[in-house]
DNA sequence: CTTTTTCCCTGGACGC
DNA sequence: TGCGTCCAGGGAAAAA
């Protein structure tokens, strides 16, 4: 599932590949993955931005597209040649059964929106800056963009579990199930604890831990345990170093105790009974 | 305002 | 082998 590190990985790749590029057409193969009016004109791309798990591709005209990959979405670039990279283009997304939207670029390249479960979408908007601002204002800050004290105040206002709280994009943005699980383990905090029961020192430790696991995700190109792939169809590396996520019955990295899978807020949750009490 | 519930989807896992 | 059932899960929207 694409979370902040995965989306940021794609954003960086898009920004590099689409600099000075233009879109000359969009073919919608499944309208459930596309919102907004259809259009056919040349749109020069001027920026690719991200807030939380949302992507914004901004056009010179002021228009743009908002993208959310949700659970299984991928943005895949088919290059005319791939001599600049060692990554083989083994998959042809032109004919892939789950390719939902095809974006044609002015130089002949194509960007494919691929999504099996179709929770994600591309949304075309007339005023991308206003749309970006609107989304951003509805999101909480990313873990490195607020102080320990600010986080503590936010957490004190809710009676939900700490895990549900940090997964709430209105409270904190960018953190999904993978990094929430690993961050809580790194901080030594039980995900079932009430958010407003955390001590000052625990809030600081949690924020620090979330920053750490997100940075690690960024450094490894994200987690490809499931369907996530980067812009070139490649895998990230974070799935090879999950701290607890998905590791049912495997030993805790700190104490060796078998990790357990529980359910918190309806989401799969992995804990070490000894290290997270 | 806060919290809960429902819904959107399909591939893969599982049971018989 | 094959069929039916269950489950994963981000976020919008409605309901409580």
For the cut 70, the answer to whether the pLDDT of residue A118 exceeds it is yes
Are A267 and A176 contacting, i.e. CB atoms less than 8 angstroms apart?
no
Rounded to an integer, the average pLDDT of A242-250 is: 92
Residues 158-177 of chain A with CB under 7 A from strand C are: 167, 169, 176-177
Strand B, nucleotides < 7 Å from a protein CB: these are 2-4, 8-11
pLDDT of residue A277: 84
- Report the alpha-carbon distance of residue A51 to residue A137 in Å, rounded: 10
Average pLDDT of chain A, as a whole number: 91
For the cut 60, the answer to whether the pLDDT of residue A85 exceeds it is no
Q: Which of A55, A77, A69, A73 is nearest to A115 (CA)?
A: A73
Q: List the structure tokens of A121.
A: 């979408």
Are A162 and A193 contacting, i.e. CB atoms less than 8 angstroms apart?
yes
Distance A91 CA to B7 C1' (A): 32
- Report the alpha-carbon distance of residue A129 to residue A133 in Å, rounded: 6
- Tell me the nt nearest to A7, Cα to C1': C10
Q: List the structure tokens of A2.
A: 């694409």
Residues 216-235 of chain A with CB under 7 A from strand C are: none
Laid out side by side, the sheet with A110-115 consists of: A34-35, A121-125, A64-68, A54-59, A43-51, A22-28, A99-105, A110-115, A73-78
For the cut 60, the answer to whether the pLDDT of residue A86 exceeds it is no
Lowest-confidence region among A72-81, A85-94, A220-229? A85-94
SS3 A268: strand
Share of chain A above pLDDT 70, in %: 96
Are A185 and A242 contacting, i.e. CB atoms less than 8 angstroms apart?
no
Tell whether pTM > 0.75: yes
A153 CB and strand B closer than 7 A: no
SS3 A251: strand
Strand A110-115 relative to strand A99-105, pairing? antiparallel
Q: Count how many residues are written for chain A.
A: 277
A53 CB and strand C closer than 7 A: yes
Q: In the structure, what pLDDT confidence band is assigned to residue A119 with cuts at 50, 70 and 90?
A: very high
Q: Which residues of A are catalytic?
A: 2-3, 53, 267
pLDDT of residue A80: 58
Residue nearest B4, CA–C1′ metric: A265
pLDDT (tens digit per residue) in A148-187: 999 999 999 998 999 999 999 999 999 999 999 999 999 9
A204 CB and strand B closer than 7 A: no
Burial class (CB in 10 A: 0-12, 13-18, 19+), A83: exposed
Strand C, nucleotides < 7 Å from a protein CB: these are 8-12
SS3 A108: coil
Residues 82-101 of chain A with CB under 7 A from strand B are: 97-98
A70 CB and strand C closer than 7 A: yes
pLDDT (tens digit per residue) in A98-115: 999 999 999 989 999 999
Helix and strand counts by DSSP (H, E) for chain A: 6, 11
Residue nearest B7, CA–C1′ metric: A119
């Amino acid at each position: 599932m694409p979370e902040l590190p995965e989306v940021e990985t794609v954003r960086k790749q898009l920004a590099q590949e689409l600099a000075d590029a233009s879109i000359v057409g969009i073919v919608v193969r499944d309208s459930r993955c596309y919102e907004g009016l259809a259009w056919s004109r040349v749109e020069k791309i001027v920026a690719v931005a991200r807030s939380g798990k949302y992507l914004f591709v901004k056009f010179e005209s002021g228009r743009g597209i908002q993208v959310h990959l949700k659970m299984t979405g991928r943005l895949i670039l088919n290059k005319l040649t791939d001599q600049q990279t060692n990554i083989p283009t083994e998959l042809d997304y032109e004919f892939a059964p789950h390719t939902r939207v095809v974006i044609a670029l002015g130089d002949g390249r194509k960007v494919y929106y691929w999504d099996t479960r179709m929770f994600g979408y591309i949304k075309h908007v007339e005023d991308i800056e206003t749309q970006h601002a609107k989304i951003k204002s509805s999101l909480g800050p990313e873990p490195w963009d607020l102080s320990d004290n600010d986080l503590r105040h936010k957490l004190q206002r809710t009676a939900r579990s700490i895990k549900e709280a940090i997964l709430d994009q209105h409270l904190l943005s960018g953190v999904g199930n993978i990094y929430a699980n690993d961050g809580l383990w790194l901080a030594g905090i039980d995900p079932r604890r009430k958010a407003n029961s955390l001590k000052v020192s625990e809030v600081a430790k949690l924020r620090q831990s979330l920053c750490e696991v997100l940075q690690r995700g960024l450094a490894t190109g994200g987690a490809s345990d499931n369907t996530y792939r980067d812009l070139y169809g490649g895998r990230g590396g974070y799935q090879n170093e999950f701290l607890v996520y998905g590791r049912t019955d495997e030993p805790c990295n700190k104490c060796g105790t078998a990790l357990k899978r529980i359910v918190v807020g309806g989401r799969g949750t992995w804990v070490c009974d000894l290290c997270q009490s």
